[in-house]
Each structure stands twice: as C-alpha cells, then as structure tokens.
Chains A and B, each alone.
Chain A
Amino acid sequence: MSVEKSRRSFLRDAAFALGGVAVGAGLGYVAAGGGRAPVTQTVTKTTTQAAERKVVAGFVYVGPVSDYGWTHAHDAGRAYAKKVCPWLETKIVESVEEAKVQGAIETLIGQGANIIFTTSFGFMEGTAEAAQKHPDLYFAHCSGYKSGAAGNAPQNLSAYFAEFYQLYYLNGLAAGAVTETGVLGYVGAIPIPEVIRHINAFVLGAKESAKARGKNIKVYVQWLNAWFDPEGANKAATSLVENNNADVLAFTEDTPTVLQVAESYQKKGKRVWSFSHYSDMSKEGPNAHLTGQIVNWGPIYVDFVTQVYARSWRSVDIWARVGDYMAYKWANLQNPKVEYDGAVYLAPLNPVIPENVRALIALRWQQMKEMLFEPFTGPIKDMDGNVRLKDGERATHDILWNMDWHVEGVQTPLPK
C-alpha cells in the first residue's frame, strides 16, 4: 500500500515535475524569446532611424540656375553637397525677387526643409526675420553681415561668403606677364568695396610681374552699374580695347561677355586676354582665356548641412579665402606641383603665361594659403599719391571690407 501509495505519489510527483519542467522550459523559452524580440526590434529601429534621418536643405536663389555666374555656381555647390552627403535632400526656388524671400523660405519650410540657404545680399533682412520666427530651423545667408556669430541675428543664422581678391592678385600676375601695351582694362559691375578690392588686387599683381619686365602698368576701369548687363559689358570691353589700347581685360560681373569679346579679337588676330569668373569659362575663350577666379560653394554647403545632420550647429561668419576648405593646406615641398583647390581656386593657366610667372603664381598661392603673403601689404599709395598702408603694414579685415580708394596705377577715378 505504502509502496503503491508511494509509487502513485512518485508518479504524481514525477508528472508534476515533468509538467513543471515543460512549463518552465516553455516559460523560459517564451521569456527568452520575448526578451530577445524587443532587443532586436530596438536595434532595427535605431538603424532604420539613422538611415531615414535626412537633412532637407532649401536654397533660395536670386537668379535662374541657368544664369552665367552667381546662381549657377551656387547650384553646382548644392549638387556637390547632395553627391557627397547621401542623407541630404535639396529643394530650390529660383529667380526670387528680393522682397519675396520670406515667401520662398516658407515654401521651402512647407516642403520639409530644416536648413535654408539664401544667396543674395538683398535676402539678408528677410532671412534674419525668418530665423527669428523659426528658432528650431537653421539658416545661412550668403554675402551679408548678419549672423548669430556676429551678434546681430539669432544663433540659428550663419553668414558665409567666398572672397576672390587674392585670386585677382594672381590674375594680375598673369596679366602683367603677357601684356604688350602695358594697359589693362577692367569691367566692374558696381563700385562697392568688394569690386574695388578686386580691381586693386589685380593692379598690385600686374605691377609685380610687369616690374620684372621693366614695364609700367596702367589700368582703366569701366563701370556697368549692374551685375547682369551683357550689352554694357560688350561695349565697355570693346571701348577699353579700342580707345584705351588695353590688351588684358579683367571683370567682375555676371556674364561671360568680356571673355567673349577678347576671344573675338583673338579670332581677328589681335592678342587680347581675359579671365574666368565664378566658374570655369575657358570654353568661352579657347584662345583668350588666361586664368581666373573660381568658387566652389560645395565644401561650404557640406559643412553647414553636416552641422545640422550631426546636431553640432554653431553660428559662424565665414569669409572663405585661399586655403580655406582645403584637404591639404601646407605647401608640400616634396611635391611642389600646385593643385588649386578649396572654396576659391584658380582656373587652368594658359600656356602663354611664361614658366617663371607660373612658378611665381604657384609660390604666391602657397604663401597666401599659409597666410605668409598678403597682397595688400604696404607701402601702398592710392591713385592720388596718399599713403594708405605704411611700409610692412598689412591690410586688416576692416580695411579690405570698406575699401573705397584705388591703388596707384589705376587711371580712372572712382565715381562719386
């Protein structure tokens, strides 16, 4: 009985035990499985989130992307940023009137943009107001002076610009080396410090290389009073060549016209040279193209959108010059071959520029990269003979930024 009882109790106990094991194992399995499932889910969720996290950059352009300079270059920068950053989506609004910038910004925000670039000086106030209104979004304005960094706008607004005067100095070196008449022409858009700085740097460069040839340099300036005026640029360039006997034409305006005029003289057998502006225009003047200044907004745009992506935004006021946004900034003495890159760089050099001047251009480029050389270093006199920079004095940012005088060598007084 006891045996039977004990057997029965054993069987019962065994059954319970088995059942317990089974249930336990089952529970354990479920618990384990249930535990694993949420973990897997979390991991998947995190990775998908990273893949789906996008930055949408909106661009407000003052002109059409098919213009011949300013907007075209900005759009090339946008395309570059899109290529480099797979998580970047871009939206553009073209040909926006300056008074309508806020409407364009709101449109882009409606399309999901979390960073907005506005690329005209006249967009500055509207962009600053939009930055105030949308503190959770980011803004960057090109060619103005308002930013959180400068302290005159909210912290979600940055400013950026690319500066060419150093490249105009290099252009000047090329011009001084090839001119036969010793007369250079300059077609300027609007007499503002930026353009005046360009002209002066160009003249200083030309004087440096012409001095080695024992030549004096005279520079005549024609003003268009417009950024886009192909007809005026044609007339100004032709007048400089015909009336002033200029054989190198530099310019700051938004059409390829001046280079085209130089090329048509080359076709007629008259040696007249010109440059690229903003983008490589060497195709426009296969014979007349000496070199020129080129901007690559791409690295600047990559910088800004990466800040938004990495949530590391900090308001900045960028004035990109030679040496900025370069992978390799220091002169490579082992490999002296110069590669002109960065946010601003030099167009291909025409073989007509003598070898020693090409080397000089490369040297000055390296020196400017490392801030060992500044074109505006005294003694510099203005065209009326007043000393503007004392011997050895370097121009400060403010002197460059507010320049309203011409250096010696310019023949045309500034318009009043």
Chain B
Amino acid sequence: MDPMIILTTMFILMVQEGSILLIATLGEIFTERSGILNLGVEGLMCFGALSSFIVYYLTGNWVIATLAAAFAGLMLSLIHAFVSITLKVNQTVSGLAITILGLGLSSFIGRPLALSRVRIEPLESIRIPVLSEIPVIGPSFFNQNPLVYFSYVMVIILWFILYKTSFGLNLRSVGENPSMADSLGINVFLTRYIATLVGGALCGVSGALLILGYYPSWYDGITAGRGWIAVALVIFSSWNPLYAFFGAYFFGLVGTLNATFQSIGFRMIPTDFFRTLPYLLTIVVLVIFSSTRFRRRKMPASLGKPYTREL
C-alpha cells in the first residue's frame, strides 16, 4: 500500500468535508461577530441543501441553485433576526426553533423528492493548472468543485471585511458594545440584521455544497449534525475567519481517521471511537475555550444579548 496514495485520499476527503463545515462556520462567525448567536445553522444548512437541490434539478444551473440556497438561508435567518433583534427574544431559544423549523420544513417539502428518488448530477471538479500538480495538496485542494473554491475565497473576503473595512469595524463594535456603537452613530439594528442575513445565506450555501457536490440525492437527515459542529468551530476558531480555515480542515481530517485507519489495518483503536471523535473534540474545545479568561479576550462581549436603546 502506497503511503502517498493513502495520504492523498485522506486529504481529498478532508477538503470535501472541511469545506462544507468551513462555509457554515464563516457564516456563523459573521453573525456572531455582530453579537447575534444563531444556533439555527443545522436547519439553515438543511433548508439550503433542499432549495439548491430543487433549483438545480429544475434548471441544471449550479450558480442559480447556489443563489437559491443562499436566499433560502437568508429568508429563514430573517425570522431569527426579527425575533431576536427586533422582538429581543432569547436568541438560544429562537436559534433552536430555526433548527427545528429548517429540518421540519425541509423534510416536509422534500418528501415527494425523497419518495420519487430524484437524482442530480454532482458538480464536476475543476483542476487548477500548476497548483494541482503539487503532491498531496494539489489533488486535494486544487481539484475540487467551484463551491469549494468559493469557500477559500470567502475566508479572505470575510477576513478583509471584518478587519480591513469600516463596515467590519462597525460590525465588530456592535458585537462588543452596542450602546457605545450606537452613541457613535452606528445603526446597531441594521448592522445586526445584515450580519444575521449574510451569515444565514452562507449556511444555506454550505448546504448547497453538501448536496450538489457530494451527496446528489435528497433524503431526510442529510446534514447529519454538521451544523452543530460548525457552531463549535466558531469558538474553536476564536471568531476569526482565518483560524476557521484551519479549524474546519482539522475537523475534516479527524473525520477521515476511521476510514484511513481501517485502510492501513490499524486496529488498536475501535472504530466506534472515531465516530464519536468529532463530537468529543467539540466538547473538549468548548470546555477549554469557554474558560473565563479566554472568553473575555476572544468572544464578542455582547454575544447573545439583545440590544435595547436607552433613551
């Protein structure tokens, strides 16, 4: 067995899974930076996946299908935005409601598709010249479908917006101290609305990558808990899009260990362990990163707190 082949396979699978997680994580980072906690990622992804699946099936155009997924995520997160920003309801409750709504709505709308076994052609990979010749990294990172390339680009774009533009500065300040930001003339409500809607749209696109890229038919439970891992990855990556890139692929890599170890015949650790590993890791990450010292330094100070203007 050629170790290079095994390593390359591992990386290809890592990029597939990691990119799905990455887009959702980026979306959630953008939302949480404005102080809005959206636990509806799983529901948004699922609804996005279904929307893109239907549109791709009808039009055969992946760009329109991806836009449909973004729109679906946007519309669903609009509910969260209205409830948590305008009505100032508890964001955890609202987010969980979005997850349940998204999953339920997808299951309901998608039922005829699941029963009639509709299938689409998955997106084809585009080989990037020169870069795809690099061993291991080339075939895994630079021979993927366009939505994976979109995820790389989004890392840079979101990092640039958050850290290099005045809108990003406003957004971050709204997440840290909304009353201060308000007193400086920043429209807190509008900023939070934009952040929530853009974040929701990205979660929808993550669902589109999942279904258009790798799992080209619709059935219930297709997102399989990835939304929750994305929520944990936000904390893991300290609300920074650049760290999210490494975090997502790290989790993607952990997810390939089961298959890889079985390939090489490494049998010391039972396969059950690998199934639980991403979730175990999630808990460990949450415990470590939720220590008060870390929270004070990294977490948006007003995360999850509704803002009421004092008159």
A and B associate: yes
Binding site for B on A (CB under 8 A): 63-68, 72, 220-226, 228-232, 234-236, 238-240, 242-244, 255-257, 260, 264, 267-268, 279, 281, 283-284, 412-413, 415-416
B119 in contact with A283 (CB, 8 Å): yes
| Of B3-11, B150-158, B169-177, the one touching chain A | B3-11
What CA separation (Å) do A229 and B259 show in the bound complex? 13
- Contact check, B220 vs A64: say whether CB atoms are below 8 A apart: yes
CB of B222 closer than 8 Å to a CB of A: yes
A67 touches which of B1, B16, B219, B272 (Cβ 8 Å): B219
Please tell me if B115 contacts chain A, counting CB pairs below 8 Å: yes
Other contacts beyond A234-B13, A267-B122: 4, CB < 8 A:
A72-B115, A225-B271, A243-B263, A256-B219
Q: A66-B107, A229-B224, A230-B215 given as contacts; is B270 within 8 A of A415 (CB)?
A: yes
- Given known contacts A230-B222, A284-B117, A415-B270, is B217 in contact with A68 (CB within 8 Å)? yes
Residues from chain A with a CB closer than 8 A to the CB of B214 are 234
Determine the distance from Cα of A265 to Cα of B189 in the docked complex, in whole angstroms: 49
Q: Are B222 and A222 in contact (CB under 8 A)?
A: no
Task: Determine how close the nearest CB of chain B comes to the CB of A178; give it in whole angstroms.
Answer: 22
Which single residue of chain A is at the shortest CB-CB distance from B115?
Answer: A66
Q: Annotate B105-142 by CB proximity to A: 1 below 8 A, 0 otherwise.
A: 00100110011010101101100000000000000000
Determine the distance from Cα of A228 to Cα of B215 in the docked complex, in whole angstroms. 13
Inter-chain contact B122/A283, CB cutoff 8 Å: no
Considering the complex, give the chain B residue whose CB is closest to the CB of A259.
Answer: B217
Give the complex CA separation of A239 and B13 in angstroms: 9
Interface of chain B residues 215 through 260 with chain A (CB within 8 A):
215-217, 219-222, 224, 255-256, 258-260
When distances are taken between beta carbons in the complex, the residues of chain B under 8 Å from A67 are 114, 219-221
Cβ–Cβ < 8 Å partners of A234 in chain B: 13, 16, 214-215
Residue B296, interface by CB 8 Å? no
Q: Do residues A64 and B107 form an inter-chain contact, with CB atoms below 8 A?
A: yes
14 sampled A-B residue pairs with Cβ under 8 A: A63-B220, A65-B111, A68-B219, A224-B271, A225-B271, A225-B272, A234-B13, A235-B255, A236-B259, A236-B262, A244-B263, A283-B117, A412-B262, A416-B270
In the A-B complex, the 9 residue pairs with the smallest Cβ-Cβ separation, listed nearest first, are A66-B114, A242-B9, A235-B259, A243-B263, A239-B259, A68-B219, A64-B220, A66-B111, A239-B263
> For B6, B16, B214, which residue has the most chain A Cβ atoms within 10 angstroms?
B214
Chain B residues with CB under 8 Å of A221's CB are 262
> In the bound complex, do residue A230 and residue B256 qualify as a contact, i.e. CB atoms below 8 Å apart?
no
Give chain B's interface secondary structure class: helix
- Chain A residues lying within 8 Å of B222, measured Cβ to Cβ, are 230
Chain B residues whose C-beta falls within 8 Å of the C-beta of A235 in the assembled complex: 13, 17, 255-256, 258-259
Contact across chains for B265 and A412 when beta carbons are under 8 A apart:
yes
The reply to whether the CB of B297 lies closer than 8 angstroms to some CB of chain A is: no
Return A127 CB to nearest CB of chain B, in Å. 24
Measured between alpha carbons, how far is A69 from B107 in the docked complex, in Å? 16
Q: How far in angstroms is the closest Cβ of chain B from A165? A: 23
Instruction: Tell whether, in the assembled complex, residue B217 and residue A242 are in contact, meaning their CB atoms are under 8 Å apart.
Output: no
- Please indicate the chain A residues that have their CB under 8 angstroms from the CB of B220 in the complex: 63-64, 66-67
**B267 at the binding interface (Cβ < 8 Å):** yes
A228 adjacent to B256 (CB under 8 Å): no
Chain A residue with Cβ nearest B17: A231
A65 to B224, CA, bound (A): 17
Q: Which chain B residues lie closer than 8 Å to A63 at the CB level?
A: 220
B12: Cβ under 8 A from any A Cβ:
yes
Known: A67-B220, A235-B255, A260-B216. A284 touches B119 (CB 8 A): yes
Contact call A238/B275, Cβ cutoff below 8 A = no
Q: A66-B107, A230-B222, A235-B256 are in contact. Are A267 and B124 (CB under 8 A)?
A: yes
How many angstroms from the CA of A64 to the CA of B220 in the assembled complex? 7
**B26 smallest CB distance to A (angstroms):** 20
Q: How far is the CB of A252 from chain B (nearest CB, A)?
A: 15
CB pair A260–B9 under 8 Å, yes or no, is no
With known contacts A238-B12, A243-B6, A232–B114 Cβ distance under 8 A: no
What is the distance, in angstroms, from A364's C-beta to the closest C-beta of chain B? 28
Q: Is the CB of A243 within 8 A of B5?
A: yes
| A contact residues around B9 at 8 Å (CB) | 238-239, 242-243
Do residues A68 and B259 form an inter-chain contact, with CB atoms below 8 A? no
Contacting residues, chain B, for A72 (C-beta < 8 A): 114-115
A6 to B288, CA, bound (A): 131
A256 touching B13, Cβ below 8 Å: no
Of chain B, the residue at the smallest CB distance from A260 is: B216
- CA–CA, A264 and B119, complex, Å: 13
Which residue of A has the minimal Cβ distance to B214?
A: A234
- CB contacts (< 8 Å) of A238 on chain B: these are 9, 12-13, 259
Report Cα–Cα, A243/B1, bound state, in Å. 7
Within 8 A of A (CB), among B200-221: 214-217, 219-221
Is the pair B263, A231 in contact by a Cβ cutoff of 8 Å? Answer: no
